Amino acid sequence: MDHAAETRAFLTSRRAGISPQEAGLPAQGTRRVPGLRRAEVARLAGISVEYYARLERGDLSGVSDQVLDSLARALRLSEHDRTHLESLARTSGTGHRRRRPAAADTVRPNVQHLLDSMTGPAFVVNGCGDVLAANAVGRILYAPMIESAGSATPNHARFTFLDPRSHQFWGDWESAADNLVALLHAQAGRGPYGKGLTDLVAELSTHSQAFRTRWADHDILQFHRGAKVIHHPDAGLLHLSYETLDLPGDGLILFTYGAEPGSDSEDALRILAGRTAAPDHAPE
């Protein structure tokens, strides 16, 4: 989780993913590794080889927006990749660049009241995927994840990569695993000095080959909305959509699940919501 190492690995992986032909360059000589050479990236970005070599060593301190634009074009970065590069640049060095404030580790009472007022499953998570709060139907929906955590804070990544039950819970486990790692990489760019994220990545890297393989790919994802398939032990297969809302003052994210009106998944969610009134499922 070293910032320079994260930057170096990210730029190297993107450079390796572009062939000279894709970049409009002639393929000259035999290449020992795939992708563009540093000199070719520098030429495409309009900067010196020495300067690009410094950037790829992980030193983005003082880099201008113009250079970031040029690098994004040269490396054909996606929107998510470009956002990640900007985050790495903002957090590079310890001089004039200001670190992001630490995210809250608990939710404010007003946020919990907002969760409880929602009829569908709703959660608040931090950038590491810790589920810090949920409403009653959310706790029922995520029961396998909560049970897996025991007395600890439920965490999406720990459940997905360290608990075999996650393969049954997530209707598309491969997609869920890919997205989680991409989200953690995005968080690493926004807050590379966070001990919680560093410890989480170290733990998952030690105990999960599936995580190590994905982490090395350096895929990036910023999630705002999407779809999930969940196989709930009581409600069966649920096809759900989700929306997210940033809580900037807390550094947290609120997201909610919903289902297509009139669908079996909507009926199943309604049944789960009805169980929240039962004594056995009363909120703590």
Across 230-250, average pLDDT: 92
More confident residue, 247 or 216: 247
For 1, the token pair is 């989780």
Residue 223 — pLDDT band, cuts 50, 70, 90?
low
More confident residue, 40 or 277: 40
**Predicted pLDDT of residue 29:** 66
CA distance 80 to 246: 17
**pLDDT over 60 (residue 284):** no
For 275, the token pair is 């169980």
Residue 1 — pLDDT band, cuts 50, 70, 90?
low
Q: Where in the chain is the domain with CATH 3.30.450.180?
A: 109-281
Topology of the domain comprising 109-281: Beta-Lactamase (3.30.450)
CA distance 152 to 202: 18
The pTM of the whole model exceeds 0.75: no
- Taking every pair of Cα atoms in the chain, the longest distance, rounded to a whole number of angstroms, is 73
Distances (CA, A) of 283 to 50, 116, 133, 249, 278: 59, 10, 11, 26, 10
Radius of gyration over every alpha carbon of the chain, rounded to an integer in angstroms: 21
Return the ∠ at Cα 140 (arms to 137 and 143), rounded to 5°. 150
Residue 277 — pLDDT band, cuts 50, 70, 90?
low
**pLDDT over 50 (residue 183):** yes
More confident residue, 87 or 48: 48
Residue 191 — pLDDT band, cuts 50, 70, 90?
low
User: Among candidates 57, 90, 86, 53, which has minimal Cα distance to 69?
Assistant: 86
Average predicted confidence (pLDDT) for the chain: 86
Across 254-265, average pLDDT: 94
The count of other CB atoms within 10 Å of the CB of residue 67 is 18
Which superfamily is assigned to 3-90 in CATH? lambda repressor-like DNA-binding domains (1.10.260.40)
**pLDDT over 90 (residue 177):** yes
Whether the CB-CB separation of 73 and 18 falls below 8 Å is answered with: no
The count of other CB atoms within 10 Å of the CB of residue 172 is 14
More confident residue, 31 or 273: 273
Q: Got the DSSP string for 44-107?
A: HHTS-HHHHHHHHTT--TT--HHHHHHHHHHTT--HHHHHHHHHHHHTSSSSSSPPPPPPPSS-
- Rounded to an integer, what is the distance from CA 220 to the centroid of its chain? 7
**pLDDT over 70 (residue 11):** yes
Whether the CB-CB separation of 218 and 8 falls below 8 Å is answered with: no
With tokens 């730029």, the residue in question is 11
Percentage of the chain beyond pLDDT 90 is 44
Fill in the amino acid letter for 42.
A
**Predicted pLDDT of residue 222:** 63
Q: Where in the chain is the domain with CATH 1.10.260.40?
A: 3-90
**pLDDT over 60 (residue 101):** no
